[in-house]
Chain A
C-alpha cells in the first residue's frame, strides 16, 4: 500500500510566482516527514524535515512545509520561485511500526520554473 502520495507529477510555474507541492501520507502511527530535492543528473539532497516540535519547518533556500496531522499532509511551499528551483521534489516518510526507520518515498513532483 502506498504510504506517501504526491498527486502532481509535474507542476509548471512562472518565475517569482508562488508554488505548492502536495504530499499526503497514510499512517495510524507516528511519523517523521521529509522533503528531498533532486537536480538534473544528481542524487537526492535533503531539503527539510519534520521530526517533532513546531509543525512549520523551513529550508535555507526559502521553502517551507507544514505538518498537518488531521489532514495527514506535509505540503511544500515557496512564496516566490526562481529558475534555479527547477528540479524534482520527493516527499518521504518514516513510520514507526517496529520495523526500523527506513524511508518510503513518494513518486516525485517535477517542478519546472519558466521565465
Chain B
C-alpha cells in the first residue's frame, strides 16, 4: 500500500538549472497539493489541484509550475532554480476536508 510517493528524495541543483518533482498517489483522491517546508515557517502551499487537468496557485507559487495530466500524478517543476528554492518539498493528496496524506518529502538544495 504505497499511498503518496515522491521522486526524487534528494537532489542538488546549480542556480539556473531546471528539474521536475513527481508525486504519485494510489488512493484515487481528487485533490492534490505541493507544499514547501522551511525552518520556522511551517508548511506553505505552492500549488494545488482539485482534479485531473486542473491546477491553481497557492500561497507561494512564483518560480514553480505544475501539471496534473493524470489523476494519480501531480508534477512540480522549477524552470530556473534559485538558492531561495532550497527547501524540503512535500506532496499530499486529500481524502476528507483537511485530511491530507503526505509523501516522505523531497529535499532540494540549490547551489
* A residues at B contact (CB < 8 Å): 9, 32, 34, 36, 41-46, 49, 51, 90, 92, 94, 100-103, 105-108
Would you give the shortest CB distance from A110 to chain B, in whole angstroms? Answer: 10
| Majority-rule SS of B interface residues | strand
Partner of A34, one of B92, B98, B104: B98
* B residues at A contact (CB < 8 Å): 4, 33, 40-45, 48, 50, 58, 90, 92, 97-100, 102-105
Partner of B100, one of A46, A100, A106, A108: A46
CA distance A39 to B103 in the complex (A): 13
CA distance A94 to B38 in the complex (A): 21
* A101 with B104: CB separation less than 8 A: no
* B40 with A9: CB separation less than 8 A: yes
CA distance A41 to B104 in the complex (A): 7
Would you give the shortest CB distance from B98 to chain A, in whole angstroms? Answer: 5
Q: Which of the listed residues B40, B43, B105 has the most CB atoms from chain A within 10 Å of its own CB? A: B43
